[in-house]
Every structure is written in C-alpha cells, then in structure tokens.
Amino acid sequence: MAETFQIFNTRTRKVEPVIPITPGSLRFYSCGPTVYSYAHIGNFRSFISADLIYRTAREFGLDVSYVTNVTDVGHLTVDDLSDPAGEDRMVKALNSKEGEQFANIWDLARYYTKVLIEDWKNLNLLEPTVRPRATEHMREQISAVQRLLESGHAYETDQGIYFDVSKLAEYGELSGNTEADELAQSVRDVVTDSQKRDPRDFALWKKDEAHLMQWHSPWGWGFPGWHIECSVMSMSYLGEEINIHAGGEDLIFPHHECEIAQSESLTGKTFARHWVHTRFLQVEGQKMSKSANNFYTVRDLIQSQEEGGRGVDPLAVRMTLMSGHYRKPFNFTFETLKANIRHRERFEEALKRVESAQEQALAGPDELGETLSRLYDRALGAMLDDLNTPEALAAVIEGVKLILSEGNTLNASSAVSASGWLDKINCLLGIIRADHDLVQSTDKSDFDQKVEHLIEERQQARMDRNFTKADAIRDSLSIMGVELMDTPDGVTWKQRSDLD
Ligand SMILES: [Zn+2]
C-alpha cells in the first residue's frame, strides 16, 4: 500500500504529497454550490471528488476537518471574468417562472439549500464537519475587506471596493492567465466601473442600495463580492493555512485565483498548499445544456417515476460519476449508468449472501479473507495515488465477484471477512450501502398544504371557542416560520424571512 497520500496540485502542476500542517490532521475546504436551482450531475461530480478526498484521508488515518460552504449571495451571472458582472444568480432565479413559488429571496435560498442537502445524502456524500453559509459570515467578510483597504491592497470607488491586483506579483499563477487573456476578456460587452484602476481588479464589495440582499458596511449598503466569502469561511473554521482547497475546474479562474490574492495578502502566508480541480462533465459526448435537452439534475435521475424522475439507484449514479478519473473530462452515458446499475445489483446480492452465510454458520477455513484484504489495499492504494477511482472500482468489482463465486458454499468465517471488507470498502468509496433511506423531494406545495391544513384547524378551534388549541396551532406554525395575518377577508400567511 502507498505510504503517502498524493494528489495533483493545480498551482504547481504536479502530483505532490499531502503533508499535514498539524501532524495527523488535515484541513480541507471545498467550494460548495450557489443555491439558486437544483444541482446537476456535473456539480455533484466535483462534490463527490471532495467526498472522496475526505474519505480517503480518513481511511489513511488522518483526522480531517472538512468545510464546504453554501453560497447564498453575491454570485453574479457573468462569472468567468476577473471581475464578475451581470445579475445576481439568486435574484435572477427569484424573478424567473420557478421563482414565483417563493415568498422572497431568503425563502428561495432556504429551499434550494434544503434540496442540496437531500441530494447530498441520497448520493451518500458524508456530512462535512461544518457547512457554513455566506450570509452568516457577513461580519468577517466586511472585516476582511476593511483590512485589505488598510493594508493598501484594495481601494474604493463610487461603486464598490476593489482588490488591486498590481499589488500581488503571484496573481495569475494558479490559472496561468496572462495579461493578453485578461485584455481579451475586458473587451467583452459588460458593465464596468470607469473608476477601476485596472480592468483586472475585482470587486470585494459592491455598493448597491437596491439589491434584494444587502448589509450595512462602512461603505454604505451593499453586498460582498463572491470570492471573499470562501477566503473568510476557510480561515474562520480552518485557520490561515490549509492543506487542500478543492472545486470544479470552472472555479480556477476567477474564483480561486481571487481567493488566493485576497487571502495571501491578508495573512502573508500560503492559503492552501494543494489546489484540486475536477474536470468538466459531458453527456453522451455533448456539452450538457437545457437547450440540447441533455441536462440532468440529480433528482431527474433518482426520483421515483411517479415524481417525474427515472427511479435510478442513487448509488449507481454515484458510481457512474466516479467511474472516470477526476482529472480527465468525463463523458456521462446511459450505457455506463446501466452497467453501474448492474454492478450495484451484484453488490446488493453480495451483501445478502454474506448475511445469510453468517446465519447458516457453515464451518470451514477462511479462504477469502486474505485475497479481499489485498483487494482493499489495492483500492486504498489507488485512491491515495491521486484519487484513481477507476482502479479502485476495478478492485471492488473483482472482490464482489469472488464473494459471489463462492455461491452457497460460502462458509461462516469467510462470510465474516467478506462482511468486514464490504464495510471497509463502503467507508472508502460510499458505494456499497446507502447511509440514508431515499430522502424524497421536499415539494414546496407539500409545505403549503400542511400550512393551509393547520390554518383550517385553527379556524375550527376558534369557532369552537377552544382558544388554547388555537394558540397552540399558531405556535407550531410560528416554529415552522409561518406568520399569520388576520385580515377582513380571512387569514393569510407568509413565510418569515431572516430579515424580520
Ligand atoms: Zn468558493
């Protein structure tokens, strides 16, 4: 088995060993999604890579602090420029057709965060140590911007606060973006601030009194630039220096490049020793897009057919998404998905065989144990070597085949070894058994129906002059975040926002 955990570092463009900053422990941050819609399979391919880093490091014996955030403000639609522009993604979603079902932007953020965590559980991703939200760390973001202004790394214009990239020689090191690239990008037709000193400078804070999510700052009302949130949340929970910072390859520039610039200017230290990026996903060889009709959210695949999904085993989806190496572009095909559905059926069969063999307690020597143990070492060794998932999966498939080939002659002692092996493989890769029963969709209308039903019950209680019961129902609605308003036309309700 490999003696070290090594992984490709985008910043140095080399596979390098992961060396704990504090012996025996690992500090790991992975960029989470912007919660403005349902997550698609491409998003989850990179979240699964992060999950596998977490699992592999744990199996290697490291004590891992794993932080992955929820972006619930500040991510603009034109996000491939050094200084993002356009509309806020969350505001745009609220103004769309689907947005009509939400009372306000906070309600939308809450809903898609809940849905994200359901998908997360369904695909057997482990819960992070902390899952912070950008909107819950506003004070730290404002303070970081203030410190960058004080140290001369940032400056103020009428429209916002900008990071001055000329102050940092390393800017561009991660993405390899040259001056020429930047110039090409800056001629694109986007609204820019004429007071900016350099087109490459990016916003730390946007002054905006009309934005739907705004906070008071020393520079008036406004909202943070997207990049600053991950810098401060990583530092808040993991300290100024961490081992690994991960995300999808679309985050290399500008998001991660800007995170490095801000963080390293704040502390004078290396922000993250490793930068790990998962490559894009295609579907049947094509770019995944709604217009090409090949766009799949996680729930499109795993929800039951009655709910409009395809009813696919979530762990088969997970296995498919990890069947290609994270550093190669991945082609998602239904043929691969079908093959993995079959693999998963064999895993289930192996679990059953092993269980019944233990009950039957057929005597005999443990002929399987040693081979399976070697196959576990092979799988772990593959994962420790730059997350070689295809090789790790091959070892698992071989082990399951061996267990099944024993048929009804599987004796009790081999069954005990096989059971332990399946558990260990599950800890490492999360593909043998689901940690949760399928979490069904939290349909917005279910919530509405429940609220409406409780309101009716309360009305009835009031008519019966049972005010104790009526008050109790009002209290439980309040716990659900529902505020009742008695109007001349009857009772109306709204969901409380965090601002109230
Ligand atoms: Zn981030």
> pLDDT for 255-277, tens place per residue?
999 999 999 999 999 999 999 99
* Residue-level pLDDT at 500: 36
* Residue-level pLDDT at 69: 97
Q: How far is the CA of 64 from the centre of ligand 1 (A)?
A: 19
Instruction: Answer whether residue 4 shows pLDDT above 50.
Output: yes
* Residue-level pLDDT at 451: 81
The region of weakest confidence among 79-88, 180-189, 300-309, 331-340 is 180-189
Q: How far is the CA of 75 from the centre of ligand 1 (A)?
A: 10
* Residue-level pLDDT at 35: 92
pTM (2 d.p.): 0.86
Q: How far is the CA of 235 from the centre of ligand 1 (A)?
A: 12
Q: How far is the CA of 57 from the centre of ligand 1 (A)?
A: 21
Q: How far is the CA of 83 from the centre of ligand 1 (A)?
A: 15
Instruction: Answer whether residue 446 shows pLDDT above 70.
Output: no
Q: What is the mean pLDDT of residues 174-179?
A: 80
Give the number of residues written for the chain.
500
Q: How far is the CA of 457 from the centre of ligand 1 (A)?
A: 45
* Residue-level pLDDT at 308: 81
The region of weakest confidence among 18-22, 262-266, 287-291 is 287-291
Q: How far is the CA of 198 from the centre of ligand 1 (A)?
A: 23
* Residue-level pLDDT at 242: 98
Q: How far is the CA of 450 from the centre of ligand 1 (A)?
A: 36
Q: How far is the CA of 256 from the centre of ligand 1 (A)?
A: 7
DSSP code for 269:
S
Q: What is the mean pLDDT of residues 103-121?
A: 93
* Residue-level pLDDT at 498: 40
- pLDDT higher at 101 or 127: 127
Q: How far is the CA of 158 from the centre of ligand 1 (A)?
A: 26
Q: What is the pLDDT of residues 416-432, one digit of tens each?
A: 999 999 999 999 999 99
Q: What is the pLDDT of residues 75-102, one digit of tens each?
A: 777 777 666 777 788 888 898 888 888 9
- pLDDT higher at 143 or 482: 143
Q: How far apart are CA 41 and CA 380, in angstroms?
A: 25
Q: How far is the CA of 8 from the centre of ligand 1 (A)?
A: 19
Q: How far is the CA of 434 from the centre of ligand 1 (A)?
A: 28
Q: How confident is the model at residue 444 (pLDDT cuts 50, 70, 90)?
A: low
Q: CB atoms < 10 A from the CB of 133, how many? A: 18
Q: How would you classify residue 399: left for phi > 0, otherwise alpha for psi between -120 and 50, otherwise beta?
A: alpha
Q: How far is the CA of 134 from the centre of ligand 1 (A)?
A: 10
Q: How far is the CA of 34 from the centre of ligand 1 (A)?
A: 9
Q: What is the mean pLDDT of the chain?
A: 90
Cβ density class 202-223: b for 16+ within 10 Å, e for less: bbbbbbbeebbbbbebebeebb
Q: How far is the CA of 211 from the centre of ligand 1 (A)?
A: 21
Q: What is the mean pLDDT of residues 151-160?
A: 96
Instruction: Answer whether residue 243 shows pLDDT above 60.
Output: yes
Q: What is the mean pLDDT of residues 231-255?
A: 96
Q: What is the mean pLDDT of residues 231-236?
A: 97
Q: Give the Å distances, CA to CA, from 198 to 167, 190, 294, 402.
A: 11, 15, 40, 63
| Percent of residues, the chain, with pLDDT higher than 90 | 67
* Residue-level pLDDT at 18: 97
Q: How far is the CA of 247 from the centre of ligand 1 (A)?
A: 7
Q: How far is the CA of 160 from the centre of ligand 1 (A)?
A: 20
Q: What is the mean pLDDT of residues 362-377?
A: 95
| Percent of residues, the chain, with pLDDT higher than 70 | 93
Token readout for 494 is 């709204």
Q: How far is the CA of 60 from the centre of ligand 1 (A)?
A: 26
Instruction: Answer whether residue 278 shows pLDDT above 60.
Output: yes
Q: In the chain, how many H helices and how many E strands? A: 15, 18
Q: How far is the CA of 230 from the centre of ligand 1 (A)?
A: 5
In this structure, the dihedral spanned by the alpha carbons of residues 345, 349, 355 and 358, taken in order and rounded to 10 degrees, is -150
Residues 6+ apart with CB under 8 A from 154: 145, 148, 161, 162, 163, 164, 204
Q: How far is the CA of 172 from the centre of ligand 1 (A)?
A: 17
Instruction: Answer whether residue 180 shows pLDDT above 60.
Output: no
Q: Give the Å distances, CA to CA, from 454 to 114, 124, 126, 459.
A: 22, 34, 35, 9
Going by C-alpha positions, the residue among 79, 426, 10 that lies closest to residue 244 is 10
Q: How far is the CA of 255 from the centre of ligand 1 (A)?
A: 7
Q: How far is the CA of 384 from the centre of ligand 1 (A)?
A: 24
Helix (H) or strand (E) holding 78: strand 76-78
Going by C-alpha positions, the residue among 214, 301, 276 that lies closest to residue 9 is 276
Q: How confident is the model at residue 413 (pLDDT cuts 50, 70, 90)?
A: very high
* Residue-level pLDDT at 82: 66
Q: How far is the CA of 328 from the centre of ligand 1 (A)?
A: 21
